[in-house]
Structures are given as structure tokens and as C-alpha cells.
Amino acid sequence: GHRLVHGGDKYASSVIIDDDVIHTVGELSSLAPLHNPANILGVEAFREALPNVPMVGVFDTAFHQTMGEEQYLYSAPLSWYQDFQIRKYGFHGTSHKYITKVMQEKLGREDINIISCHIGSGASICAIKDGKSFDTTMGFTPNAGLIMGTRSGDIDYSVIPYYMEKTGASIKEVDTILNKKSGLLGISGEFSDHRDIESAMANGNHEAILANNMYVNRIVDYIAKYYVELEGKVDAIVFTAGLGENAREFREQILNKLACLGILVDPERNQKIAGYLEENEGIISSDESRVPVYVVPTNEELMIALDTYDLIK
């Protein structure tokens, strides 16, 4: 099983890799120039070494192909999508798909409505309706949506030509800044890892506190947005990935800001769950909470293995 980052709108599920798939993934390299060519090199090396072994491609974008036009189109000229495939694709699909599968088993049905929060150095939130991706925070690239370790997330696009005019920076330089020198790192000035942010916060570092609070606010914004998009019919909110699974005070901050929606944290339950403790999953909301809140460790490797097994058996 191979993780392939970008399948464009060509692949809505994992596929057996053949020459046509390799060709198509190559054609889509302009959408993921840092990832798709490297992914192809890996596939071709394995095909050469193991010529009789079936290979399966698992796309980061596939799970989100169930989004409707209203969710995936940008309010730019429609020809941008028709001619250049410019649209929201979403990423972390393998993780959100795994969380959906786990929650379907926990809740005992397929047609679940959940808000899946993959919060790590890279981060995205997905509104899942009837067991399928309905909307997600990442867009044409993974730089959209939430603030992340080094990525800016959403900004006003007019900032880019303004900054270029003021500084003489090239578009490539600005792209590097927004992808690799922004987010928590850009605001704090020092730290892209939230564990370092937490340590600095404990010492009263203003910039670290600011970066943390901005991150919390952006996550709250999107959870609230998706709560409304799902018409309040939310079976669960799920935290996963590095911060989602481990940052207990961070989770509590987020849930305290959602209390006006009737989403209530149980501080004792929340404190008991982290990847490095005995309990690494469970419910962290109070019994009175309108929506139960879970921590569920993600397992993208297992999801790739399961998709591979399903396709080759």
C-alpha cells in the first residue's frame, strides 16, 4: 500500500496501481509538485523490486471527493476550475476516513454525522455527514484553513501582492514564508512545536500565548461552522493526531469556548486521556454535553493496510 498525496478529482477511492494510475498521478503533479513525483518514484522502485506483488494507491484527497460543488468550488470565475482544476481538494483524508470507520463501529451505524479534528503540526477539520466527507478546512493546497505549526492557514490573499510590493520578495519567497515560516512559528517567532509553545506559555511568553490562543480560536471557528453546516445534528466531535490526542489543556480551552453550543468538557475525564498515559482514547465531555466529545488515536498506516487488503483479496 502506497500513500499518494494528490489524486485530484480523478480518484474517489483507493485503487490498484497500474501504468494508467502512475501516468495520471504524474499528470497531477502540478497540483502537488513536492509530493506526487516522489510518490511515483517510491511506487516504481517497489514495482521493480517486487514485480509480482499487487500495489495499491491510497490518496489523501480521495475521502473528500464526496463534497458537493457548493463546498469545493471557490468564488472565482468558474473557468478556473473548468480549465485549471482550481478547487478545494482537502487532505488528511486517510486519517478522517479512519476516524469515521472507528466512530461508525463505536456508534453502531454507518450514517453518522461527526466533526473530525486532526490537530497536529499539520491540521484539518472535516465535517462528516452520513459517513461521508461533507466539508473540510484544507483547500486547493494543505495551506488553507487552520493555523498550523509553520503554515499560515486562511489569510486575505491581497496581503501577498502588498507584501511583495513593499519588500521586493518573489512569489516563491512568499509561498515559502506562508508554508514554512508562518503559523505557530511565525507568531511565536521561535516555536513550531506546540509542546515548546506550552513550555514558553508557562514562563509567561506573550508571543507563545498569542500563538496558542489564535490557534484555539481558529479551531473553534471551524467547529462552530461545521456544527451549523450539519444543522446541529452532530453525533460526536473527535480529536485526533498529535495535539488532538495529547494536548489536554489545549483541548479544554477549545471546548470551553464551545460551551455556548452546549458542548461541555469534563476536566477530569479530559486530564486522564493522552497518548503517553494509560488511557489514550475515550470520551472527554460531561454527561450533560449536547454532543459527546471523543479522543481517538488516528492510524493512517492501518487504513492504508485495510484498503490494500480489501482491494487485493
Q: Which residues are catalytic?
A: 60
What SS3 state is found at 179? helix
Dihedral, CA atoms, 87, 93, 99, 101, nearest 10 degrees?
100
Largest Cα–Cα separation, the chain: 59
What SS3 state is found at 141? coil
DSSP summary character for residue 273 = B
Contact in structure between 243 and 237 (CB atoms under 8 Å): no
CA distance 115 to 238: 6
What is d(CA 76, CA 192) in angstroms, rounded to the nearest whole number? 32
Parallel, antiparallel or unpaired: strands 15-16 and 56-59? antiparallel
Question: What residues pair up with 15 in beta bridges, in sequence order?
Answer: 57
